[in-house]
Each structure stands twice: as structure tokens, then as C-alpha cells.
Structure 1
Amino acid sequence: MDGTVTTKSLRPHRHDVLLAVAGVLSGLVLWSFGVYSSSVRDLLPAWVALVPLGVLSALELLRRTRPALALAVGTLCVIANEFTVGSLAAILIFTDLMYAAVVYGKPAAARRLPVSTGLITVAVTIAALAWLRTPEALLIGVVTGLVSFGPALTGATLRNHREAAVAARLRAEQTALLAEMDRAQAIVAERARMARELHDMVANHLSAIAIHSTAALSIDTAGASRDALGVIRENSVQGLAEMRRLIGLLRDAGAEREPVAVPSLDGLEALVAQARTNGSASGLDFVLRDDRPPGEPVTAPVELAAYRILQESLTNALKHAVPGTVTVHVGREAGVLTVTVDSPYGERPGPRAPGSGAGLIGMRERTELLGGEFTAGAAGGMWRVRAALPAEEKAVGA
């Protein structure tokens, strides 16, 4: 379509071969019956009209691969044809070469030919009227338009339709590609969300189970073992409930099922109490300071993110904090909900329970998805985890 020719495309198309054969045969038939485009030009023998006809028929083989060359040579041939008795077949072949030059030529030529042939048609019409000064002179302009401007305009119309179809197909392919990219990104985001939920829900309970099972194995007293087994059972039951809730969330959204409760900041006291029970054997105490103004609720995504960040921070404290007091602080000011966990920080031989290292990453992701700020690090003998989350309705869901 853009006129670019490759080595493979130099071979004539089979349709072009048929056109060339049909053109020369029809011209020979008309010539043999004495049918000419003009019978008043007898300066040259009648057979001379076969020369432009043969050349024009041969040019049909180049109508796709060399459209500009075929049109240029064809123009000379059709002019030469006018100095003979004339062949109607030669004129028809020229109209096809004009059409092919617009359809298969370069874009610049395709835009230029309809305009130039239109101007030529107008100029020929005016010149014929000025020279002959008869109404029949208009026929010369009409014939010129039919031979040059008509095929060029037809070819331009077809080319525009083809280019519009190609552009529409490309847009459809781009739209499909963008949709596939969006789908892939949505899958990645959903998998990351599921990973955060699974980590935050289960890690707390499994860490407590690991810590107290270690204590039960190392302290050989009936009371300590009973207490440890009680904590293990409580965390295993709660972990199983959390897993069932997650499985319920992963089921088909269209399936009939009972609504599942989502953790909220109203359960902070229970969360801290559970951490206090789990950390008692490790010399840890947990204190909650809730300074939120009453009657100012936050959006569900922010509330869930704040709860999960506190839950993961308490889990990390159970694993890594040295004996002491862990302080949990929740506050709200100027439309920002802040959650902070300060845990005693010092040298330890190793964590009380193994970890994956994904806790801080998950907390940071939750905060950034909501447009908040997250910090974590040592400060004055304490390890501080702090998240500032937008508490207004404009917050984006996690």
C-alpha cells in the first residue's frame, strides 16, 4: 500500500497477468474488425496502433510493483496512441494504470494524482472550448475526465477505505493489547493483595504457635506446658477461622454465601489482648493508646489497612522484640489516621519464630496504595513502625 517493493513482490500478480493478456487480446480483436478510436488519422499505417497497445499491455505486469513507472510510460503511450488510428483497448488499459498508481503507489502520489488529473481535466476543457468554440468541445473535457480524473478519484476512494480499515484494525489490536496488559496488571495486583491478606492473617497465629510450642518443649513443667498448649490451640482455631474467611473471599463473587466479617479498628483491644497473651512467656507486655476522636469513622479500606499493619507489627514484636513493653498508639488529626507500634529493641540471639521478610514490604504496599506514608526503623532503643493513612472519603481502596 505504501509503494515499498521487496524482491519477492517483483513477480507479477496473476491478476495482472490476466489483465495484460485480456488487454492485448481485446485490442487485437478490435483492430482486426477495424474498430478504432479515430478513423481520420491516416498519416500512419493502421498497424502502428498496435505498438502503444502492446507496451500498455506489458505495463499491466508492473501495475502493483512499479505503479509510478507504469503510469509514466503509459502516459507517453496513450499520447502516442492519439497519433495513430487509435485503440480503444489502449485507452482502457491506461485508465487501469491510473487507478493502480493511486491504489498501489506511494502515499504522496496517491494524494497528488486526483488533484493533478482534476486540474488537467479542467484545463483541457477550457482549452477545447477556447479553441473550437462549440458545445461539442465539452466532450473532450468529459473524455479527459473519464480517462484520468475518474480512475484517480476511484482509486483514492478505495485506498482511503483500505487505510481506514487498516487503522481500525490497528486500533482494535492496540485496544486488545491494552486490555490484556490491564488484565495482567489486575491479576498481579490481586495476587499481591491476596498475598498480603494471607500473610497478615495467618502469620500472627502461626508465629504464636511456633513461639509457644518452643516454650513447651524447652520448659519441662506441667503448668507451662498446659499454658503453652492453650495458647497454641487458641491461635490454631483463630488461624483456621481466618483461613476459612479468606477462602470465602476467593470464591465466586456470584455464588450465594453469607457475608463475611471484615476486621476493623473496633477489634484493637482484642488484638492487643491476644498479643499480650502470646507474648507473656517472652517477657513482653502490650499497651494500647487509642486517641481517636469519637464519632469520626474512616473508610473501610483505610480501616482494614490500619488493622493489618498493627497486626503485622505486633507479630514482628512477638518475633524480634526484647523483653519490655510494646506500645500501640492510634490517633487521628487533620484527616490523617496514624498507627504507631513501639517495641523494645536490642541484641537478641535470633528471632523467636522464623519469618519470610515480607511483613514490612506488605505494610509499605498497603500504605502506598492508599496514598499514605510508612516508616520503620530503630529510634532511641525502640523499634518504631508508623503509618499515616488518609482518613477522608477520597481515599482509594486497597
Structure 2
Amino acid sequence: MRLRDLRSALPRPRELPPWQQNGLVALAVFAGGTMLYLAGSHRLLPNGDPVPLWIRFAELGAMCLAAFLRRKVPWGLLAATGIVGVDVALGLSLPIVIAYTDFLYSAMLHGSRRTTRVLVGVTAAGTLAVLFAFLAAAGWRAAALGAFSMLSFLLVPVWWGANVRQQSDIAASERANADQLATIAALDRRAAVTAERARMARDLHDVVAGHLSAIAIQSEAALSMADDPKTAQTVLVAVRENSVRALEEMRAMIGLLRSESAEHEVTAPARLAELARLVESARAAGMTVTVDSTVDEELAVPTAVDLTAYRIAQESLTNAVKHAPGGRVSVRLRAADSTLTVEIGNELLGAPTQSGSGGHGLLSMRERAHAVGGTLRAGPSGPRWLVQAELPLAGEPS
């Protein structure tokens, strides 16, 4: 097996469980300390070491056992500090000091915020105390040597642990922000899909259900007019117009769905200017329709409002033909105070069967009105069923 393959097969130390990482640290401390003790390079102070070597190894073994508590702050640090205190009493040795620096680093990395602040303060105070002690006892040269020692064995691991922890906290915060942004993006996508599905459902209902309902009613009327060929022909002409109209709008919707760019949307060619077609279709089904409009043809009606008004009129006339066949229907259009008002009322023949809160048609009309910032009311009004929509002629929907 190649060395590169062996490296890829072995887990990285950071990927190991905490207790295994602690075991590796303990093994490294024992191996390094053993070499220093056997080489006689462990003594930090001048002169020889009067302490037997087995006591030094006992200290080293205790420090290695304490390494398994290095993440248990502050208990691991307190245990290591006690061992260092014993080592200072016997004569400071390099392996113990080096091992202690790892405890300082771990305390800064894994301890609580309060523990790290206390540790920084204690380290700074201890460093100053040692410096003044060296300065008072042996002069500035000993103080300089003591400062270098404190910097290497106390301040550096504390600073390093604080810096690593800060970077880890920043990375964790960035990951949390990224997760939140991903969640928000997923919710936005879900909302966009839901809104698009609702829009498609409205369009399919208006295009398919509206025209097919009219075709079904008109064809039934044509079948009952076998003795009146002229009227039957008029009804069949209306059936054909509804069929052609449904095909045109379906093609427009398919073109919109297949379009890759939203900048060139192909919208259904339905506008209030073509209200006459809806009226003629209802009349062909046997309805008596009157139209009262004060809307100027040159009035600038926003495209979305224009289409919404048309769809509301289409659905209302379809419902009137379905629920009050042969009855009277009135269509009123008003434009005043930057508001377009659409009213469609029909006679209630027998018990009212239309509901002001249910049905896909009424729901579709309300959704369309709300989408452009308008309102819609539908329900019995005296002897009639009245649908009234108020749509803004200017401004964006709220």
C-alpha cells in the first residue's frame, strides 16, 4: 500500500473521539518526557537534579493520566496545576512545564467564558509576580530570562487557545447563519412554488372550467332547440367561440410555462375590452344580460387589474348561467377615485345555491382581487346574488 493511500485510510486526529484525542496527547507527553529524562535535558534550573528518576517518571505518569481530564475544565487544569506545584517543590522540570502548557491551551479552548476570563487574569497576575520576584532577587537579566520563560510557557498557550476559540466561534456563527439562510431560501422556494401552483390553479379553473361550463350549457340548449334551427345555430356559434377561446388561452398558458425567461411572458389575451364576448356567450345560453359601463375605453387600466376584472366577470357570468339558467344578469363597471368597481348581479331562482365562502370559483375570484390589492364581496343581496369587486387603478398591491 502506498504512503498516500495509507494516509487517506487513517483517520485524522480531529476526527477521533475526544477520549482518543486525549490518549494521543498523553502518549505524546510520555514519549517526549521520557526522552528528555533519559537524555538528562529536563532540568530547567542550574546544577544537577537531586530527585530520583523514578519520582520524575511518577510525576510524568500523573500528568499523562491528568491529560484524560484536559477537556474537563476546570478540574483537569486544577489537577495539572497541583502536579506542577509538586514539580516546583522538587525542582522545575521541562517535561512537566511543556505538558502544562497543553492544559492551559485546552482550558482556553473548552472552558466556559467565565473560566477563560479568570484564567487570563490569573496568568497575567502570575506572570507579573514572577517577573517582580526575579527582578528583586537576581536583577534585570534574571527578570528578562523569566519574562521569556513566562511568555513561552504561560502567555503563548493562553493567547493561542483564545485565538483558536475565537476563530471557532466565528466559524460556528457563520455556519449557523448559513443554515438559517438555507432554511429561509428553502421556505422562499416553497412559498414561490405554492404561489405559482395557486396561480396556475386559478388560470386553469378560469380557462378550462369557465369555457367548458359554458360549452356544456350551450350544447345542452342547442340539443333542445331542434325545432328552431336559427336559434340552435346561434348557440352552436357561441359554442365554437368558447372552444376556440379556450384553446387560445390554453396555448398562451402553455407558452408561459415553457418560457425560460420571465422577461418575455406570454399572458392570456383576456381583457375587459373583450367583455362583449362573455356577454354574448351568456346570452347564447339563454340569459338576459344588461351591461352598464361608465369606463372610458381610453382609461389606462393596469394589465393585472384588467385581467382580474375580466376573470371576475367571466366567473360570475358562468356561475349565473349554471345556477340561474334563463334568468336576468346585470353587469356594471365604474371607474372613480382611482378604483375600478365591477358588479355582477343575477336573479336568485329558488333557494340560493351559491355560497359566499366556498367553491373554487369564489376562492379564485377573491385570490385574484387580493393579489392586485383589491377586495371582493359575494353573497345574496335582496332577491339577487351580487358579486362586487373593487380594484385599484394605480399603485402596487400592499
Query: Which bracket does the TM-score occupy, shorter chain normalised?
Result: 0.7 to 0.9
Amino acid at match of 2:307: L
1:300 and 2:290 matched: no
Paired with 1:264 and 1:119, the residues of 2 have a C-alpha distance of 83
Note the residue ranges of structure 1 that are not aligned, 5 or more in a row: 1-9
The within-5 A match list for 1:26-37 is 26-35=32-41, 36-37=43-44
Residue 129 (structure 1) shift: 2.6
Residue 196 (structure 1) shift: 0.6
Flag the 1:234–1:42 CA change in 2: closer, same or farther, 3 A: closer
Which of 366, 371, 386 is the matching residue for 1:369? 371
1:235 and 2:235 matched: no
Paired with 1:345 and 1:219, the residues of 2 have a C-alpha distance of 25
2:134/2:142 contact within 8 Å kept: no
Percent identity between the two aligned chains: 37
Residue 45 (structure 1) shift: 4.5
Residue 11 (structure 1) shift: 7.4
1:49/1:85 contact within 8 Å kept: no
Paired with 1:254 and 1:85, the residues of 2 have a C-alpha distance of 79
Amino acid at match of 1:73: A
Flag the 1:247–1:130 CA change in 2: closer, same or farther, 3 A: same
Residue 214 (structure 1) shift: 2.3
1:322/1:348 contact within 8 Å kept: no
1:27/1:53 contact within 8 Å kept: yes
In the alignment, which residue of structure 1 is the partner of 2:69? 62
More deviation, 317-326/376-385 = 317-326
TM normalised by structure 2 equals 0.85
Q: CA RMSD in A?
A: 2.9
The within-5 A match list for 1:1-398 is 13-35=19-41, 36-40=43-47, 45=52, 47-64=54-71, 66-221=72-227, 223=229, 225-254=232-261, 262-278=269-285, 280=286, 284-293=287-296, 295-321=298-324, 323-347=326-350, 357-395=359-397
**Residues 102-137 of structure 1: CA deviation (Å, up to 9, x unaligned):** 222334323442343233323432343345443422
In the alignment, which residue of structure 1 is the partner of 2:5? none
Residue 365 (structure 1) shift: 0.7
Flag the 1:260–1:375 CA change in 2: closer, same or farther, 3 A: closer
Paired with 2:45 and 2:58, the residues of 1 have a C-alpha distance of 16
Paired with 2:61 and 2:161, the residues of 1 have a C-alpha distance of 24
Residue 219 (structure 1) shift: 4.7
Paired with 2:280 and 2:351, the residues of 1 have a C-alpha distance of 24
Flag the 1:364–1:261 CA change in 2: closer, same or farther, 3 A: closer
Paired with 1:11 and 1:371, the residues of 2 have a C-alpha distance of 58
SS in structure 2 at match of 1:136: helix
Residue 375 (structure 1) shift: 0.5
2:282/2:317 contact within 8 Å kept: yes
Flag the 1:349–1:22 CA change in 2: closer, same or farther, 3 A: closer
Amino acid at match of 1:155: G
SS in structure 2 at match of 1:343: strand
Residue 277 (structure 1) shift: 2.3
Residue 53 (structure 1) shift: 2.0
1:292/1:332 contact within 8 Å kept: yes
Paired with 1:303 and 1:255, the residues of 2 have a C-alpha distance of 20
Residue 148 (structure 1) shift: 2.0
In the alignment, which residue of structure 1 is the partner of 2:13? none
Paired with 1:231 and 1:358, the residues of 2 have a C-alpha distance of 25
SS in structure 2 at match of 1:389: strand
**Residues 201-234 of structure 1: CA deviation (Å, up to 9, x unaligned):** 2222211211122224445435255444333223
Flag the 1:173–1:287 CA change in 2: closer, same or farther, 3 A: same
Note the residue ranges of structure 2 that are not aligned, 5 or more in a row: 1-15
More deviation, 381-390/44-53 = 44-53
Flag the 1:287–1:83 CA change in 2: closer, same or farther, 3 A: same
Paired with 1:256 and 1:101, the residues of 2 have a C-alpha distance of 59
Number of residue pairs matched by the alignment: 379
**Residues 36-75 of structure 1: CA deviation (Å, up to 9, x unaligned):** 12245867555433333221122122223x2422111111
Residue 380 (structure 1) shift: 1.5
SS in structure 2 at match of 1:37: coil
SS in structure 2 at match of 1:337: strand
Paired with 2:106 and 2:251, the residues of 1 have a C-alpha distance of 70
**Residues 59-96 of structure 1: CA deviation (Å, up to 9, x unaligned):** 122223x2422111111111211122332111100001
SS in structure 1 at match of 2:74: helix
In the alignment, which residue of structure 2 is the partner of 1:7? none
Paired with 2:32 and 2:244, the residues of 1 have a C-alpha distance of 94
2:324/2:349 contact within 8 Å kept: yes
Amino acid at match of 1:328: V
2:372/2:396 contact within 8 Å kept: no
SS in structure 2 at match of 1:239: helix
TM normalised by structure 1 equals 0.85
Name the structure, 1 or 2, with higher relative contact order (CA <8 Å, separation 6+).
Answer: 1
